[in-house]
Every structure is written in C-alpha cells, then in structure tokens.
Structure 1
C-alpha cells in the first residue's frame, strides 16, 4: 500500500503532524508539501491523505486549489482528511467540514482534527498582533493532539489493511 500525505503548512505545525502521522501508518508513505510540490503524481499512490492548517477560519489556498484541481482523481483513491487548528469542539468540527469540499468528505474514509499551535518565533509582527488580539494568546503554545494522530492512523490502516480485521 502506497500512501501520499500531501499538506500545506504556514509555520510548521501541519508538517510536524504529517511527519508524526507518517511514523504511525503502515506501508510505504511519502510526504509532499504543496508549497514545494504542488502537483504530486497521484496515480502512483493507493491512498491520499490531505492536511492543512486553519488561519482566520480558512484552510490554505494551496490545499483548496489542490483539491479542486485533483477532485476526480482524489475521489478514486482511499482518502483521509485532516486539519490543524486551535479551535476545539463544535467550532473545530465546523472548520473541518468547511476546509474540504463536500464531495471529498463524502468519500473520505477518515477525517480528523490534530489540534494546533501558535509559534510566536515563526510568526511575523502582524500575525503575532492578530493572535494576541483575537485568540488572546500572549506566548507560544501547543495543543497538538498526538492521540488524535494515532487514532487517525489506526482508522486509516484498519480501513486499508484487511488483515487487521483478522486480529
């Protein structure tokens, strides 16, 4: 089973969660940052996992463009979707629902929210100001949900590995 985890990251949080996810998944797994590789060769993979971070309620444009451009191909793959965000509960669920097209949610085998982080060292002055004012956060903070990453990987492998059902 060949898996591609394709993602977009602004300050490294989504990249870090994608790397952690890669370590938990079975089979051959490759990572593709959409900034460096906006057109990965999807036909080489059996399953595709797409991730991005939420900023001001929206996922990155690169992720939106990737999904729109590859919609037909993505619907033929075993698909997983995840976001990184600082919201929790119903607000985070809403962000997950709006981050990806409904057509992909309908065929996705698993979706997840991996938490998020504010890394002030990687933010510019304006970003820091917005976070301080809107989120009322004064210093770098991390809410990465490592358990959610692990559970997502288990759900993906159960779905994609029929031998796990025999255990």
Structure 2
C-alpha cells in the first residue's frame, strides 16, 4: 500500500501535521510540499491525501490550483482531505470552501487538524492582523503576538489515519 501526502504550508503547521499523519499510515508514505513539486506520478499510489492551512480565510493557492488541475486523476484514488484551521467553530465551512465539490464528494475522509499561531515565523503585519482578529473573534484564543499557540488535535489526526487506513 502506497500513500501520497501533498500539502502546502505558510508557517509550518501543515507540514508538521502531514509528518505526524505519515507516521500513522499503513504502508509506504511519500510527502511532498506543493510549493516545491512540479509533477506527480499518481500511478504508483493507492491513496492520496491533500492538506493545507487556512490563511486569511482561504487555503493556499497551490492547493486550490493542484486540486483543480488534477481533479479527474484525484477522483480515481482513495482520497483524504485536511485543513489546519485555528477556528474550529467554522471548520466545516472552511473544508467545504477549500476543495472542489467533486473532490469533497469522493473523499474517503475530510477533517481539520486544528492549527497554530507560530509568531516566530510571522512578520510584523501578520502578527498585528492575528492579534486584531483574536480580539474580535470569541472562538479564537487571545494572543499577544509573542507566545506561540498550538491547538493541534492529535485525536483528529488519529481518526483521520484510521479512516484512510481502512479505505
């Protein structure tokens, strides 16, 4: 059984989740950052997992573009879709707006793994925006722009892995 995990990350959270997930999957696993890879040979993989983080309300353009350009090939695979998102109260909406409907309908599993505010990797403007949003949104943790915050859900990653392993 060969698994392919494709992801895009802004500040490293999605990369971290993809690595954790890769350790929980049965069989061989290859991980690729969609910002670095140009072409994928799907023939050698039984299962394909695609993930990205939500940044300013949207998933990375590399994830969107990849899904749209490869939709027919992806629908032929056992497919898993995930996002990293700090606001769990809107995770369903975020998942449903991040991937094409055809892929959402054919996916074996789709979920959010939580998220992180990694201020060590943010510039001044990003820190300022996150602080302002966290003050106005009661579903987000309050931040000071200095201390990193992680709300990753290993339980969600474990359940995702169980479902894709059984597919």
Q: Does the alignment reach a TM-score above 0.5?
A: yes
1:124 matched residue in structure 2: 123
1:103-138 CA-partner distances (Å, limit 9, x unpaired):
001100001110000000000111111001112322
Q: TM-score with structure 1 length normalisation?
A: 0.92
2:97 matched residue in structure 1: 98
1:17-63 CA-partner distances (Å, limit 9, x unpaired):
00000000001110010111142222221110000000111000000
Residue 35 of structure 2 aligns to a residue whose secondary structure is coil
Residue 35 of structure 1 aligns to a residue whose secondary structure is coil
Residue 86 of structure 1 aligns to a residue whose secondary structure is coil
Structure 1 position 146 matched with structure 2 position 146: no
2: CA distance between counterparts of 1:54 and 1:38? 22
Structure 1 position 110 matched with structure 2 position 109: yes
State the 4+ residue runs in structure 1 displaced beyond 4 angstroms: none
Residue 7 of structure 1 aligns to a residue whose secondary structure is strand
1:70 matched residue in structure 2: 70
Structure 1 unpaired stretches of 5+: 160-167
Residue 130 of structure 1 aligns to a residue whose secondary structure is helix
Q: TM-score with structure 2 length normalisation?
A: 0.92
Structure 2 unpaired stretches of 5+: 136-142
What is the RMSD of the two structures over their aligned residues, measured on CA atoms?
0.9
Aligned residue pairs total 158
1:89-112 CA-partner distances (Å, limit 9, x unpaired):
3x1111011110100011000011
1: CA distance between counterparts of 2:67 and 2:17? 20
